[in-house]
Amino acid sequence: MKKFSAASTYKNDRQSVVTIGTFDGVHIGHKAILKRLVETAQKENLDSTVLTFFPHPRMVLQQNVDIKLLNTITERTLLLENTGLDNLVIHPFTHAFSRLTALEYVRDILVNSLKAKKIIIGYDHRFGRNRNANIEDLKEFGQTYNFEVVEISAKEIDDVAVSSTKIRKALDAGDIETANTYLGYNFMITGEVIKGKAIGRTINYPTANLKLKEKYKLVPKNGVYIVQSYIEGKKIFGITSIGTNPTVGGKEKTIETHFLNFNQDLYGTDITVEFLKFIRNEETFDSLEALRKEILKDENFALQYLKARE
């Protein structure tokens, strides 16, 4: 897959079949569209091209809204790459871009830059300044500029019944199983292991504290989860606590994982934690000993759950 950091840098002799969207999550609904894109391109001897935007339009247009995304741009890029497409254009979504008229957008970006011969798009897609234009307008532009519009119907979209919003809501409620089913992979968070208060080891539960690079990454609701990671290529299960650690008087939100049957220095390394199941809400305990006993229960619950899955 070739990656381009703006439509203006796109270079290609071949014409393309294009699909456009934010694709946050690259979930099973997105994957159905992307599969169609790649298959159409192969059949018609065109390049398959995805036009996506970063930052998320709402991060730019509604700056007071603290929008959280299912994927970092790195994750989105990797997930899109795995669909087998030829070209990924990550176009900077700026105020200036949002002010382009429908005509300017179609002519300059889709036709002149991306050489669109065919555009596969959802029935409710809107574009151009103030989202003024719709799919019927796009079809008209197609007659002027000689491209075809393939509409994905409401039924096709409803049949999948998946949306990034539904997945965000599931994660906000700690419903990892629903989120993972819709995503088609395990929801994950990547960060660098940093030093914490070094209390964990004193209760025999050392925890790798993750520092996230991206402020906009969605973190599931506070609580305790069963997770898995790949450390030096080996799958290791763990129990993750998300929250402010009220028992030890914490204030900042932390994401910390105790890996099961594991003893290794992880400071400074990048770790990806894949979420498998919610165990319980975060609680305030009277003592560290009471917390230790509860974590022991969490550990046993996780071991049983993982054993039953085998």
Ligand X SMILES: Cc1cc2nc3c(=O)[nH]c(=O)nc-3n(C[C@H](O)[C@H](O)[C@H](O)COP(=O)(O)O)c2cc1C
> Which of ligand X, ligand ADP, none has residue 246 at its interface (CB below 5 to 8 Å by kind)?
ligand X
User: At CB < 8 A and 24+ separation, what contacts does 242-249 make?
Assistant: 242/282, 243/282, 244/282, 245/282, 246/282, 246/283, 246/284, 247/283, 247/284, 247/285, 247/288, 247/290, 247/291, 248/197, 248/199, 248/288, 248/291
User: Applying CB under 6 A, does 301 fall inside the site for ligand ADP?
Assistant: no
Tell me which amino acid residue 213 is: K
* Sign of the C-alpha dihedral computed for residues 165, 187, 304 and 264 taken in this order: negative
The two three-digit tokens of residue 108, written as one number: 């300059």
Q: Binding ligand X by CB under 6 A: which of 34, 70, 109, 295?
A: 295
Residues between 144 and 173 with contacts to ligand X, criterion CB under 6 A: none
Using CA atoms in the order 295, 299, 304, 309, what is the torsion angle rounded to 10 degrees? 120
Angle at 107 between CA 102 and CA 109, to 5 degrees: 90
User: Applying CB under 6 A, does 218 fall inside the site for ligand X?
Assistant: no
> Which of ligand X, ligand ADP, none has residue 247 at its interface (CB below 5 to 8 Å by kind)?
ligand X
- Cα 237 from chain centroid? 22
> Which of ligand X, ligand ADP, none has residue 96 at its interface (CB below 5 to 8 Å by kind)?
none
User: Applying CB under 6 A, does 247 fall inside the site for ligand X?
Assistant: yes
Q: Specify the residue for token string 């960060």.
A: 191
> Which of ligand ADP, ligand X, none has residue 248 at its interface (CB below 5 to 8 Å by kind)?
ligand X
The two three-digit tokens of residue 246, written as one number: 């009220």
User: Applying CB under 6 A, does 195 fall inside the site for ligand ADP?
Assistant: yes
CB 284 → ligand ADP: shortest distance, Å?
Answer: 19
What are the φ/ψ torsions at residue 7 (nearest 5 degrees)?
-60, -35
Residues between 121 and 140 with contacts to ligand X, criterion CB under 6 A: none
CB 266 → ligand X: shortest distance, Å?
Answer: 12
Burial 162-183 (b: 16+ CB within 10 A, else e): bbbebbbebbeebbbeebbebb
CB 186 → ligand X: shortest distance, Å?
Answer: 18
User: Applying CB under 6 A, does 198 fall inside the site for ligand X?
Assistant: yes
User: Applying CB under 6 A, does 209 fall inside the site for ligand X?
Assistant: yes
Q: Binding ligand ADP by CB under 6 A: which of 35, 99, 201, 213?
A: 201
User: Applying CB under 6 A, does 264 fall inside the site for ligand ADP?
Assistant: yes
Report the alpha-carbon distance of residue 150 to residue 165 in Å, rounded.
24
Binding residues (CB under 6 A) for ligand ADP: these are 193, 195-198, 200-201, 206-209, 258-259, 262-267
Binding residues (CB under 6 A) for ligand X: these are 196-200, 205, 207, 209, 224, 239, 241, 245-248, 256, 258, 282-284, 291, 295, 298
